[in-house]
Amino acid sequence: MLLSPTQARQLLLHAFEQRYAILAINADSHAAVTDCLEAARQADAPVIIETSLWQIKGHSYGLGDPVLGVARYLADLMVLANSERYRQVPVVYHTDHIKGPETMRILQAAIQGIPAGLHEQSLKLFASTVSLDASDMSEEENIDTVLKLCQLAEAAGVDVTLEMESAVDDRITPAEETEKLIGSVEALYPGKIALWAPGVGTQHGFTSDDGYSGFQTKTIEDNIQLLQKITGRNIGIALHGSTGLPNEKLQAASQCGVTKVNWSSESLYLRNTAAQAYFRDNAAKFERQHKEWKNSVMDNGLSAHIAQSYVPKVVERMHTLGAEGQASQFIASLELMETLG
- Return residues touching Zn ion (CB under 5 A): 240, 262
Closer CB to Zn ion, 18 or 145, in the complex: 145
CB 237, min distance to Zn ion, A: 13
Closer CB to Zn ion, 32 or 89, in the complex: 32
Closer CB to Zn ion, 107 or 114, in the complex: 107
Q: What are the start-end ranges of the E strands in the chain?
A: 22-25, 47-51, 91-95, 114-118, 121-125, 129-130, 162-165, 193-197, 236-239, 258-263
Closer CB to Zn ion, 305 or 317, in the complex: 317
CA 208 to chain CA centroid, Å, is: 22
CB 232, min distance to Zn ion, A: 27
Closer CB to Zn ion, 97 or 305, in the complex: 97
The C-alpha atoms of residue 280 and residue 274 are separated, in whole angstroms, by: 10
CB 268, min distance to Zn ion, A: 13
Residue sitting closest to Zn ion (CB)? 240
CA 52 to chain CA centroid, Å, is: 9
CB 53, min distance to Zn ion, A: 12
∠ CA 125-126-131, nearest 5°, is 145
Closer CB to Zn ion, 74 or 200, in the complex: 200
The C-alpha atoms of residue 124 and residue 110 are separated, in whole angstroms, by: 10
DSSP tag of 174:
-
Q: What is the DSSP string of 273-308?
A: HHHHHHHHHTGGGGSTTSTTHHHHHSHHHHHHHHHH
CB 104, min distance to Zn ion, A: 20
Beta carbons within 10 angstroms of residue 257's beta carbon = 23
CB 52, min distance to Zn ion, A: 8
Closer CB to Zn ion, 41 or 240, in the complex: 240
The C-alpha atoms of residue 313 and residue 247 are separated, in whole angstroms, by: 13
Closer CB to Zn ion, 219 or 262, in the complex: 262
CB 310, min distance to Zn ion, A: 20
The C-alpha atoms of residue 226 and residue 39 are separated, in whole angstroms, by: 34
The C-alpha atoms of residue 197 and residue 330 are separated, in whole angstroms, by: 23
Closer CB to Zn ion, 72 or 94, in the complex: 94
CB 241, min distance to Zn ion, A: 6
Rounded to a whole number of angstroms, the distance between the first and last alpha carbons of the chain is 19
The H-or-E segment that residue 54 falls in is helix 53-56
CB 22, min distance to Zn ion, A: 15
Cβ–Cβ < 8 Å for 275, 240: no
Among candidate residues 180, 181, 223, 179, the one with its CA nearest the CA of residue 199: 223
